[in-house]
Amino acid sequence: MLVIMRKGSTEKECDAVEEQIQRMGYTPLPVSGENRTAICVTGNKGPVEAAFLNQMPGVLECIPVTKPYKLVSREVHPEDTTVLVGGHSIGGATTTFIAGPCSVETESRTLAVAQKVKEAGAHIFRAGAYKPRTSPYSFQGLGEEGLLTLKRVRDEIGLPVVSEVIDTSLAEKVAEHVDILQVGARNMQNFALLTKLGELKHPVLLKRGIAATLEEWLMAAEYLLAAGNPNVILCERGVRTFNNHSRNTLDLNVVPLARKMTHLPVLVDPSHGVGQRDRVRPLARAALASGAHGLMMEVHTHPDTAYSDAHQTIHVETFAGIVKDASILSQLDPLFSES
Ligand code: PEP
Ligand code: MN
């Protein structure tokens, strides 16, 4: 249930409502919004008795929340959320481009790629220092050395950085060096990791699990918000289906629906979604046309020699073309308006 406070209600009145929710055996979670102050009641197993809360000073109304995910839903938070990262705002009316190699590589090569993707229009640089690989014999990432390189990208090239955190024990260390913590598809339901990143409050990019439904994905995001972190960005990256003509099946069906269900920004990663360099651009166009708030792509100056995922890594010139595609697509009428 959501308790909506009257305009001009006092802090004391809000505190009293939170205390009453606690007395009823539930957990109150304040929800910030531009136009209203609200308190979400969580931890209830059945319907919450609203009568007492309804007549408390400062309370405008109590509305039931029908979805199992609450804090991520538009019922609780109607306006689009934007996540501010190094001066760039992700979500709302902005189209965000995240680009860079699959993995952090040598310092000089990584800095050179970062400079080029910045010139081509990237807002944020991507590269994994810790790589979750299917095979234990594949390149596992440069680890701490990679984090130091990412810090140099941030400081010297001036691009905010996103990189994956694969384990709770690494969360603080990765957060010190990067602007956004990526939760990879394989960890989408690592609830200990989600809770830890919720507590850290550092921006999180949550990739959709390899076989996760929309509801499971949103519930994973709910873990982050319930633990206190409102800075969450979703990223569709393809799901496993019967088809064997692409690495995954990029599920663009999910984009307009996710945008309807949640206020969180929704990005698309066509690189992992399709898995072949020549098809990334068409899927990138389609993702933007379906209403994505932006794209995350594997981009390199020398894609054939990328340390990992070379076959799906596009050249920086192709990336520049996608940025141009986006400016043409942005002339279409917006599919969604805030709430
Ligand atoms: C990645 O973006 O580097 C990655 C490993 O992606 P995913 O978790 O979607 O496979
Ligand atoms: Mn990759």
177 and 297 share one domain = yes
In a domain, 69, yes or no: no
Q: DSSP of 246-308, one letter per residue?
A: SSSB--TTHHHHHHHHBSS-EEE-HHHHH--GGGHHHHHHHHHHTT-SEEEEEEESSGGG-SS
Of 272, 274, 311, the residue with max ligand 1 atoms within 8 A of its CB, to mutate for a pocket test, comes to: 272
Distance 184 CA to ligand 1 centre (A): 5
The predicted-structure confidence for 309-335, as pLDDT tens digits, reads as follows 999 999 999 999 999 999 999 998 888
In a domain, 73, yes or no: no
Q: Which domain holds residue 175?
A: 83-336
Give every residue of the chain whose pLDDT is below 50, as ranges.
339
Residue 43 has a pLDDT of 84
Indicate which CATH number applies to the domain containing 49: 3.30.70.1140
The predicted-structure confidence for 22-60, as pLDDT tens digits, reads as follows 999 999 998 877 778 899 998 887 788 888 999 999 999
Residue 338 has a pLDDT of 56
58 and 88 share one domain = no
Residue 266 has a pLDDT of 98
Residue 45 has a pLDDT of 78
* Atom 4 of ligand 1: nearest residue by CA position: 184
Pocket of ligand 1 (CB under 6 A): 102, 128, 164, 184-186, 207, 237, 272
